[in-house]
Every structure is written in structure tokens, then in C-alpha cells.
Structure 1
Amino acid sequence: MVGGTALALVLSACATQDDVVTLNFFQFKPEAVANFNGIIDRFEAENPDIRVVQNHVPDADTAIRTLLVKDKTPDVLTLNGNGRYGELAEACVFADLSDLTVVEQVRPAVGDIIGELGSCSTGEVNAVPFSSNASGILYNRGLFAQYGVEVPTTWDELLAAAQTFEDAGVTPFYTTLKDGWTVSPAFVNLGGALQPEDFFDRLRAEGSDVAAGEVSFSKDYPEAMEKLTTLYSFGQDGAASRDYNAGNAAFGAGESAMYMQGSYAIPAIRASNPDANIGSFPYPATNSPEDTVVVSGVDVAVSVGRDTEHPEEARRFVEFLMSPEVVQQYAQEQSAFSPLTTGAETTDPALAGLAPYFDDNRIIGFIDHQLPASLPLPQYLQELALGGSVEGFLSVMDREWSKIAARTIPNEKD
């Protein structure tokens, strides 16, 4: 009798196991593995018929392309909302999620940012924003108070603040030119604020004949790039040998008054110094505060594989991920912003200077996401910040854009 009962239990367990659907969850952020493990535990407790296996690899871009080549698209994916995501969306890798209720709960400006990157067809929503970042200027509250410097709201005030710190022997900006990509935040903020309306749509429409067109980098970006080089002139000595990790540690240790990085750097800064007194403000690209905007990206976007064998279970997991409680908890843990209109205001003091711009929808997307991946922007920005000429940088950008446009089909929006 006991043996029969034991056999029945074993058979019952096997049957239960057979009923469990396993989802392959591709997760690209190394610093968020523990966060998502906790989320998965909660989801599985509420959904015992679904098992979620988180897969994280160091080089996410290479990994996802390898999986696609092998026709092994994961069931659910998190990806950075950038140009590479847009390419995959336009290649119809991801399912249409436009029927999910949460789509209507996304802040309109955030929805526009992810939508403008690309989609399989008009009207489709191929990713739901899970977490938003903000690219501004981080500052040391203690040093600002010590030297009586107010948070700048205009370009002239920003230069005056930098000069005050330099005159006092304090490094105004800690710069990290060993990593070329770290110049990109200044580029996207100044360029995005100062470029003509619909600049990239008009540039794409010109095809390869940029020189004869109405818009170009040489025509429309001189002011932005002159301002970029001005800010980098306030950097510390030895910037060419300092990388991003060194910059996070140095700023956390109080070695500069300001740091041209976004919200995504805050966890790393706090890891080096939990007591770092961090504030933030948007780039005041002009002397008109009413024109100031915050550059924001979809730091984490959630998608479902278009050909998943478990669409119902995958959507159930996405709906759980996108619940306001889960989104808000992740945002707090990762010093990010909730992309949802139902999200609570951030309580992180380091983000207080940027938060009002989200509430007012005064945000724009990362303009470097509009550039072809084959255009080596970080290298060109690095050369410029190390002493190159603005005219030379803009000429190279026009030339490279024209060459790429000449050998590719224009990326026109529907």
C-alpha cells in the first residue's frame, strides 16, 4: 500500500512537471541578474505552470545575433532600446504586443522613443518599455554648496560654474577619453537639443547626396560640437588614460564637481562610494531654460519572440514584468525611471533634477540611435575631444553618412 502511494506521488509529480512550460528569458544587463532572479521567483510562485530560465551572457549583441542565425529566438527578451533593437524589430524578429493593456499605460514620449527606432509594420508595438534612463550632468552636491555654485539652468551659467570650480582648483568635469563612447552623452544632449526639427528624417531622405542637401552635420551641428569641445576643455589632466570605471570611482570620491554621464552611472558610482552626494540636472544647451529637454532612452525594453511556441505564457510573463509594482521596484533598485504613467515619482535624490522633465514629457531620444551601426561615432568623438577640429569631425560625419547611404537602402519611416 505504501509502495502504491509512493508510485502515485511519483506519477503525479511527473504529470505536474510535464504540464510546466519553460520560457527562455534572454536578459542583457549583467548588473540586473539578481533583480530579475527575484522577479522570476515571484512570478513562478504565482504561476506554477510556468518556469522561467534567465539567460545572461557578457556580449548580448553578439549572443542575440548568433541565436537568430541558428533560428533560436528566445521566448521573452530584454534589450536596450537602441538602433540595433530597431534593426531587429524591422526584421520582424519580435511579436506584436499592441494588444497588451500596458501599452496604453506607457508615457507618450517614451512610447514615441521606442516606436521611432523601428517596427515590423505600421501600427505594431514590438517592445514595451520596462525602464527608462536619463542622460544629464551629474554633480557633487557638497562641492556645489561649498563653493556657493547654483545649479545652472542656462549655457552661460554652466560655463560660469565650470570656471568658478577651475579657478578654485577643483576639476569642473571628470572626463574619460580612454573610452570613446563616454563622449556620446554630450553629443546626444547638445546635438539633440540644437539640431533642426526632423533632422535625421530629412538626412535619410537626401540619400547619399548630403553635400547638396538642406541638412547635414556640417551645416547644422557646428554650434553643438563647439559647445562639446568647450565642456571637454574643462576636463582634468590625463583624461586620455582614464576609462569609464575610473571616472565613476573618481567622481564618487569627489575628484570633480561634475560628470557628463547619465542615470545609468549612478549605481556604479554608489558602488565605489555609497555616501556619494549626487545630484543631476539636464544639459542647458541654450540660454533659454524653457527650451531645455532631457535625453532619455529605453534602457530596458521587453519583447516576445515572434515565433515562440509559448505565446500565451510569454505574454503572461510580460504582463507580470510590466505591472506597476515590478517596474517601480526595478527603477528604484537601478536608479532608473518608470516609463509608466501610473509609476510613482522617483524618490532617488540623485534623479530629482531630471524627474520633472519626465512628468512634463520634455524628453527626447538618443540621437546616436539614429546613426548606422557601421558609422564609428565613438572613435570620431574621441578624436575630437582629444583635440581634433570641429570642422574635420563634421566633414567626416557627412562623408561617412554619404558612403553608407550610397550602399544601403534608405531607412525611411512608414
Structure 2
Amino acid sequence: MTEPSRPDRPHSRWQLAALAVTIGLASASASAQNAQPLEQRFLFGVGTHQGLGGSVSGRGYVPAISVKQMKELGATSFRDDLPWSDFELPGRQLGFNPLLGRLDAQIKANIGPPVIILAFGHHLVPNSTPPTTDEARQRFVNYATVVAQTLAARRPIFELWNEYNLEARKNPDFSIDNYVALARVVQPVVKRAAPSSPFVVGALGDDPGWKWTDALLRTGLLEIADGISIHIYNHCMNPARRTAAEAIERLEAFHQRVAQATNNPAYPIYLTEAGWPNGEAKCSVNEQLAADNMAQMILWSSTAGPWLKGLWLYELKDSGTKPDALEHNFGIYHFDNSPKPAVCSIRDSWAFVRTSLKAERTRPVPGVVLVRSQDGSDVKAALWSDNPTKRFEVRLKGAESNAEVSHVCQQGAGLAPGAWTELSTTPLLVTAKGQAALDFEIRPAN
């Protein structure tokens, strides 16, 4: 809420914080000047389901519509399944076929390097879910080899399995030993067939206490892999923890574990799933909070550093229409392809940072996140509250006549010099041309 005539509140230790954000071109280091834009070193994508369900999707996925939606978001990648049982038809016929026509069409649309999941057993191959014998592993190797040969020119990222550790809770065959044994025979053939394609292990689902993660890291598997992937969700946590802040905190903890195990703080990590379901299920969040969380994740990702190779939001569209079915309601778009609030939140936040050359995150006051970045001749700042129950007010100090200010999706009033405006979980975006110093004051709202 804008209150141009409201007097300042009394000062306390942090209730009124004067924050000077000086990120003009003149202060940029030579390395920052020559850095690659974020979009050239980081993939932003979404999860889709073109590879599951055969030639017609029961989830409502249509390649032409999905491609249009991804272009609207600005996505530079997507992640999808390439099931072994659909790629290898009876008679050991290996290759794309009508069952995988939708996935084939989406790959050929050249959204960007896709993440292709090599996964699932084969109904005609004994001991293949997961592969636990030399014979089953060799059949999986044959499938992975032809996939890599077929797609090599697209330079995809190959991800071995999907949430293997979650299956281990129900089936002892999904052991770390079996996973490592499979990875060690698949990796060489994939790299020979597609040397420019990263081979990524993990696809780790929820792992309380990091027990599975730590055990996997002790195997030394990451020495032959090109990266490790993880999925982070918190929608079934206490409502106060269903935030981007919690997801970021856990991802950073995962990064520290990987860095320590590999003795490499820049070891590649791929966040191949993160999202928040809507609808009416117990673990759902409202559409606006999901949109704010996704915007915050994207803005934060610009500050993560070279270890984070990409973020794939789950998923592009709702997979069903039942409001109380959790898995039906993760979409950025509704089942009928109409947009949710997340569409413009994702589009605006990614557009804001995708060309940034350098970015960093600070906390100017408790509960407020500031991402500041350099973008050629532009000076940028994004601010938000990281807790849905805490709101603040912010104002620009001085007369920055060339500053452009808006909330993501233009929600809320603009910010004029000297006027206070509300700061919530919906990020506030500020851009100024030239060597501007963006100075803010921040205070808690009533």
C-alpha cells in the first residue's frame, strides 16, 4: 500500500533499515564485465509428460501447445521421460516409434537441451525393475546406447532413473549397490555415443536426514558422473515451511554435502524438480503463493554460483482435473491450458535475471531477501518477504528518475520516490539505467 504522507516510524535496531545498493557499471569488476549471461550458463526449464502414456496423452499434453507455453515462459529446456518399454518394442526393435511421437515432436521443436530420463523396467525383460542382473543391465545398456546415439546431436542431459531412492522404501531391489552397478555400465556407452551430453546420476527424491544421499556419495559414483540431480518439495510440511526459502535452504545443504564429498564446491548439481501443487488436497498451497515461490526460486538461482546448472519447475500443466488429487495439480497452467498466476510470475522473474552477468543475495533486514544484479548497463534489484505471514514496506530514497519499478505481474502499486509500498512474497523488481545507486528504506508493516 502506498502512503506518501505517512511519517516515519521510530527507529529501532532494524525496524528502519537504510540500504544502499550500489551496483552500477563503474563498480563492476573485469571478470563481471566479461562473464557470460545467466541464460548461457544455466538452464531454466519445466517438467513435461510427453514421453508417458502413448500417442495420445491422458494427462492432456499436446506437443504444439506445450511448445507454445514453454516459449511464453522463456524456458530454455524441458525434462521428460523416455521409457525403456516404449523405446524397445517386441523383437528388440529399438528407436522412436508412434508411442513416443509426442516426445519426439517436442524434442525436435528445439526449445533447448532437454533432460531425458533413462528409466523404468521392461515388461519383457526379467529382473529389470530395476535391473539387478548382468543380463538385465546389458539390455538396459542396449536401450541407453541407442537413445544416446539417436539424440546426440541435440546434446541432451541424460538422467539415470527417477527418484530411485523413493522406490527403495518399498522394494529392496532398489538398493544403492544396484543403482551404482547400473550407472557404472551405462555411463561409458552414453558418453561414447554422446560425448557432449552430461550423464547425471541421482534424481534423488525426499531424503530425510540425507541418509541415502550420504551413502550414495560414499560410493565414489560422482567421480564418473557429470553431475547429480535432486528434487525438492515441501508442500506437505507445516504450512509455514511451504516456501521457496525452505527449498533453497535444503538445496544449499545438499550442495555443501556434495562439495565436501567431491572436494569440489563447483561440482554440478541439477535441480530437476521443484514445485507446489494447488487444488484442495491437504498438502496443497494456493495459486498465488505457488507463483510467488517459483518467482523467488528463479530470482535466487541467479545468485547460486557455477555449481547450480539448472532449475526445472514441475510441471508445465495440470495432469488431471480432480481438485483433491495432489498429483493432478502441480501445473503452471491448468489442465485446460489456461494460465495460473505462476505463468506471469515465472515469465517476469526469468526475464528479469536471464541476461544478468553477476548477481548476489543479501538480507537487508530479517525476513527480507534482496537480489542485486548487473545486466550490461542496467542496475537491478529484486526484493521480497520470504515468509507469507510477514509483510514489510519499502521506499526508494532520493529521486531516481530513471528507475523502473514494478511488482512481478504488476501486482500492487508502483513505487515513487519517497512513497512507501507494501513488500510481500510477490517480488518487487527495480531497474535503473547507467551508474545508478539504488537506495531503499525497509520497515515492517502493521
- TM-score category (smaller protein): under 0.3
Q: Relative contact order: is structure 1 or structure 2 higher (C-alpha 8 Å, sep ≥ 6)?
A: 1
User: What is the TM-score with the length of structure 1 in the denominator?
Assistant: 0.26
User: What is the TM-score with the length of structure 2 in the denominator?
Assistant: 0.25
Higher strand fraction: Structure 1 or Structure 2? 2
